[in-house]
Amino acid sequence: MIATVLLSVGIVFLAELGDKSQLMALTFALRYRWWMVLGAIATATTAVHLISVGVGYFLGAALPTRAISLVAAVTFLAVGLWTLREHVGAANDEPAPQAVRTSTVPFFAVLSAFLLAELGDRTMFATAALATDYDWAGVWLGSTIGMVAADALAIAAGILVGKHLPERLIGIGSGLLFLYFGTATLLSAAAPTLSGPSVAALAILVPAVALAALPARRAIGRRIRSGRIEETITESARPRS
């Protein structure tokens, strides 16, 4: 049992290093409280790995992985656009609103994002394969610990980064990262024959275009805000009957 747990921890921990789940954990840690992010990740990981060890190696054939990936891609793209809109709005000269860090909404947002991202992921299939040869309880416990530990490193990095960066820059960076995740997931689901480097190269084009468009978006916002101020001044200057 102990050997199975340690084996599962090592395999999953190494598999998660540099994976998209670590980048997602870092991104969420920049916006929400670390314990909320870690709790949501642990809950999602526990559920996903329980499914994988329960169904075993045949899980891949039972899940519509392409449909799940498409839903995950749309979710990531929507979160990215919403985050950018929040921090680069019409009133961009005003301080960006602080994220609601203490409500339950962020917890369920992180939970659902990780559930969608991990269903059909390589870590899930590795866990299912291990469960065919080793004790399922040990594989479940070890794989969950390994993934949570890997994502905890990313959360720690997010905490350190967040202490030295302004809120708006963090928000824009988070939005661009989610655009990248969404595009990469969409390309992987829509064109499975594309290689990993090709997916990464194509996926980075979307956040690059969004980043290039930010100055124009800010300029439009300033004009709109300036026009509203001038209109208010004009209305105030008119004589009242």
Q: What is the pLDDT of residues 141-154, one digit of tens each?
A: 998 999 999 999 98
Q: Count of domains in the chain?
A: 1
CA distances from 149 to 25, 64, 145, 154 (A): 11, 28, 6, 9
Section 5-14 average pLDDT? 84
Confidence of residue 131 (pLDDT cuts 50, 70, 90): confident
Q: Could you report the per-residue pLDDT of 200-231, keeping only the tens digit for each?
A: 889 899 888 888 887 776 666 555 555 555 55
Residue 99 is predicted with a pLDDT of 43
Single-letter amino acid code for the residue at 21: S
Tell me the pLDDT band of 19, cut-offs 50, 70 and 90. Answer: confident
Q: Tell me what pLDDT residue 92 has.
A: 45
**Where does residue 191 fall: left (phi above 0), alpha (psi -120 to 50 degrees), or beta otherwise?**
beta
The Cβ of residue 197 has, within 10 Å, a number of other Cβ atoms equal to 8
Average pLDDT of the segment spanning 154-181: 80
Q: What is the pTM of this model?
A: 0.66
pLDDT of residue 60: 47
Q: Which residue range(s) make up the domain with 201?
A: 2-237
Q: What angle do CA 145, 44, 112 make, to 5 degrees?
A: 150
Band (pLDDT 50/70/90 cuts) for residue 96 is: very low
Is the pLDDT higher at 217 or at 185?
185
Lowest mean pLDDT among 5-9, 14-18, 142-146, 237-241: 237-241
> Which pLDDT band, with edges at 50, 70 and 90, does 4 fall under?
confident
Which DSSP string do the residues of the chain spell out, in sequence order?
A: -HHHHHHHHHHHHHHHTTSHHHHHHHHHHTTS-HHHHHHHHHHHHHHHHHHHHHHGGGHHHHS-HHHHHHHHHHHHHHHHHHHHHHHSSTTTTSPPPPP--SSSHHHHHHHHHHHHHHTT-HHHHHHHHHHHHS-HHHHHHHHHHHHHHHHHHHHHHHHHHHTTS-HHHHHHHHHHHHHHHHHHHHHHHH-TTS-HHHHHHHHTHHHHHHHHHHHHHHHHHHHHHHHHHHHHHHHHHSPP-
